[in-house]
């Protein structure tokens, strides 16, 4: 028999790649953190001698979810910015809070809280955008989770750097520090486009082309943003990015709520991908991303949650369900986006958006064993006649029992393995007490 590290058997296995097929009574064999084979469970137990055998008789085993857009540390601000109208709300509300509280300790504690939440929800990879990317990277590494770290680019002084060039230079140092790391990768994360000059964005493009790095940008999120761009630059944000050479397969356009036919044509033609953040957009009243139109034109779409100021959780499965319901409701077409497409958006397409599609996002031999397992034997998702539909529309992320990243089990039988959850929650509570105790005068100064 062939020795392996782990053999996981499950009632159902959904590889996602290359398609949405469902394999019954199958197993995934893991060695050295990577998937060796996906095959019938009986055959697997005859072929492999596993150091660890995990049997999940009423579960579905599938790729871990990918949260393609987060501001992880802002979990510490959960509930503090509510019911803000679309517009320049973030600089005025969220950033005023972060100017006061953000620092390395804040970034570490908030990111740990976010990772604990995501692992419990079956998320094995997240793409982050925050002004302490070095701390986010270190925290993700210590938690053994996969992450694409956003290299912040801002012309305004922040607590991390003073100028656009300093932000970029520090980002390049961070990129070099983690180059070749099996779990951590990087991408450019420029500030809102209307706050950046053509010269800064052109430098980002040159470096992104040279280093083959994705560029994640908030684009067409609000009508206000588009008006600002048209007033200051004489064109819509996406058209401006195209003029600067940033509309390419490296572009990750986050939100894309306000999309005209010409925008759609440009997206489809340049090969960019879109991160759909439906719950964030709904809560803020920003509008609805035209998901069926994007998919109909072949634009790759993944799912993200955004920050805790515009979305109170980091649940990619919940985003998938909301995206599907929105697509059907807005188009008045049941099944405008089918369940298997939604699962693909929450897994493989997210991995592809952050440049990791060759190494994660699907259950195929040679990819990292980034997996999640859900127990479908629950009153809310049983009986099961359509496995993928049950996952998307009936099950809850609370039914996730196990999560693996690179073959390492980070959530085992519903318990976090490497994170001290009680300590993480206690640190988060201490931040709430500290913020609640801030003087009214200081709050007014914000």
- Residue 376 Ramachandran class (φ > 0 left, ψ -120 to 50 alpha, else beta): alpha
CB 315 within 8 A of CB 82: no
What distance in Å separates the CA atoms of residue 81 and residue 90, rounded to the nearest whole number?
Answer: 9
Domain segments of the chain as ranges: 2-63+370-413, 65-353
Give me the CATH topology for the region 2-63+370-413: Urease, subunit C; domain 1 (2.30.40)
pLDDT tens-digit readout, 280-291: 999 988 999 999
Length reported for the chain: 446
Choose between 92 and 183: higher pLDDT: 183
What distance in Å separates the CA atoms of residue 39 and residue 271, rounded to the nearest whole number?
Answer: 34
pLDDT at 85: 54
**What is the share, in percent, of the chain residues with pLDDT greater than 70?**
95
> Alpha carbon 411 to chain centroid distance?
18
Identify the DSSP state of 212: T
Mean pLDDT, the chain, whole residue set: 93
Q: Is the dihedral of CA 32, 38, 39, 42 positive or negative?
A: positive
pLDDT at 445: 45
> Alpha carbon 325 to chain centroid distance?
20
- For the domain made up of 65-353, the CATH class stated in words is alpha beta
Residue 443 pLDDT greater than 60, yes or no: no
Residue 91 pLDDT greater than 90, yes or no: no
Q: How confident is the model at residue 97 (pLDDT cuts 50, 70, 90)?
A: confident
Residue 175 pLDDT greater than 50, yes or no: yes
pLDDT tens-digit readout, 23-71: 999 999 999 999 999 999 999 999 999 999 999 999 999 999 999 999 9
- Cβ neighbours for 252, distance < 8 A, ≥ 6 positions apart: 68, 127, 187, 214, 215, 216, 217, 272, 273, 274, 275, 353, 354
Structural element, H or E, at residue 310: none
* 2-63+370-413 and 65-353, same CATH topology: no
Q: How confident is the model at residue 178 (pLDDT cuts 50, 70, 90)?
A: very high
CB 189 within 8 A of CB 198: no
pLDDT tens-digit readout, 308-362: 777 889 999 999 999 999 999 999 899 899 999 999 999 999 999 999 999 999 9
Residue 195 pLDDT greater than 70, yes or no: yes
Structural element, H or E, at residue 218: strand 215-219
Residue 298, token pair as written in the block = 């072949």
What distance in Å separates the CA atoms of residue 68 and residue 148, rounded to the nearest whole number?
Answer: 9
Residue 95 pLDDT greater than 70, yes or no: no
What distance in Å separates the CA atoms of residue 131 and residue 186, rounded to the nearest whole number?
Answer: 14
pLDDT at 80: 80
Q: How many CA atoms lie within 13 A of 66 on its CB side?
A: 33
- Residue 238 Ramachandran class (φ > 0 left, ψ -120 to 50 alpha, else beta): alpha
pLDDT at 441: 42
| Rg, Å, the chain Cα set | 21
Residue 284, judged by CB atoms within 10 A of its CB (0-12, 13-18, 19+), counts as buried
* Residue 304: strand, helix, or coil: coil
Tell me the H-state helices in 354-420.
Answer: 387-389
Residue 103 pLDDT greater than 60, yes or no: yes
Choose between 443 and 37: higher pLDDT: 37
Q: How many CA atoms lie within 13 A of 192 on its CB side?
A: 18
pLDDT at 87: 52
**What is the share, in percent, of the chain residues with pLDDT greater than 90?**
85
What's 115-169 look like in SS3? HHHHHHCCEEEEEECCCCHHHHHHHHHHHCCEEEEEEEECCCCCCCCCCHHHHHH
153-179 average pLDDT score? 95
Structural element, H or E, at residue 59: strand 48-63
- Cβ neighbours for 316, distance < 8 A, ≥ 6 positions apart: 65, 66, 67, 121, 122, 123, 303, 304, 305, 346, 350
Strand order in the sheet with 146-153: 65-70, 123-128, 146-153, 184-190, 215-219, 251-255, 273-276, 301-303
CB 128 within 8 A of CB 72: yes
């Amino acid at each position: 028999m062939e020795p392996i590290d782990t053999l996981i058997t499950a009632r159902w296995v959904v590889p996602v790649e290359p398609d949405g097929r469902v394999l019954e009574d199958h197993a995934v064999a893991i060695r050295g953190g990577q998937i060796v084979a996906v095959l019938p469970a009986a055959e697997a137990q005859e072929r492999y001698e596993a150091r660890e055998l995990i049997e999940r008789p009423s579960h579905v085993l599938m790729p871990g979810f990918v949260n393609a857009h987060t501001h992880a540390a802002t979990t510490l601000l959960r509930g503090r910015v509510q019911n803000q109208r679309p517009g320049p709300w973030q600089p005025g509300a969220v950033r005023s809070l972060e100017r006061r509280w953000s620092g390395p300790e804040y970034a570490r504690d908030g990111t740990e809280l976010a990772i604990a939440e995501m692992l419990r929800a079956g998320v094995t990879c997240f793409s982050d955008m925050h002004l302490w990317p070095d701390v986010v990277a270190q925290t993700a590494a210590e938690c053994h989770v996969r992450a694409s770290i956003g290299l912040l680019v801002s012309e305004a002084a922040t607590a991390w750097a003073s100028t656009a060039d300093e932000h970029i230079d520090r980002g390049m140092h961070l990129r070099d520090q983690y180059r070749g790391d099996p779990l951590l990768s990087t991408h450019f994360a420029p500030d809102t486009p209307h706050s950046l000059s053509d010269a800064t964005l052109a430098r980002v493009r040159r470096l992104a082309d040279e280093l083959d790095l994705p560029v994640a940008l908030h684009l067409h999120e609000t009508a206000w943003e588009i008006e600002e761009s048209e007033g200051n630059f004489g064109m819509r944000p996406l058209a401006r990015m195209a003029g600067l050479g940033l509309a390419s397969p490296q572009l990750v356009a986050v939100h894309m709520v306000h999309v005209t036919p010409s925008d759609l044509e440009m997206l489809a033609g340049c090969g960019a991908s879109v991160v759909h953040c439906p719950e964030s957009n709904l809560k803020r009243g920003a509008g609805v991303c035209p998901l069926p139109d994007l998919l109909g034109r072949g634009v790759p779409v993944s799912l993200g949650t955004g920050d805790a100021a515009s979305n109170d959780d980091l649940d990619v499965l919940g985003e998938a369900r909301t995206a599907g319901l929105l697509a059907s409701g807005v188009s008045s077409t049941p099944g405008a986006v089918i369940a298997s497409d939604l699962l693909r958006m929450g897994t493989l397409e997210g991995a592809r958006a952050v440049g990791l599609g060759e190494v994660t996002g699907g259950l195929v031999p040679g990819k990292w064993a980034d997996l999640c397992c859900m127990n479908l034997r629950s009153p809310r998702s049983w009986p099961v006649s359509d496995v993928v539909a049950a996952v998307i529309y009936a099950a809850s992320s609370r039914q996730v029992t196990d999560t693996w990243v690179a073959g390492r089990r980070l959530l085992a039988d519903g318990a976090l393995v490497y994170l001290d959850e009680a300590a993480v929650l206690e640190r988060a509570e201490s931040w709430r007490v500290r913020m609640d105790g801030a003087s009214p005068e200081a709050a007014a100064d914000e």
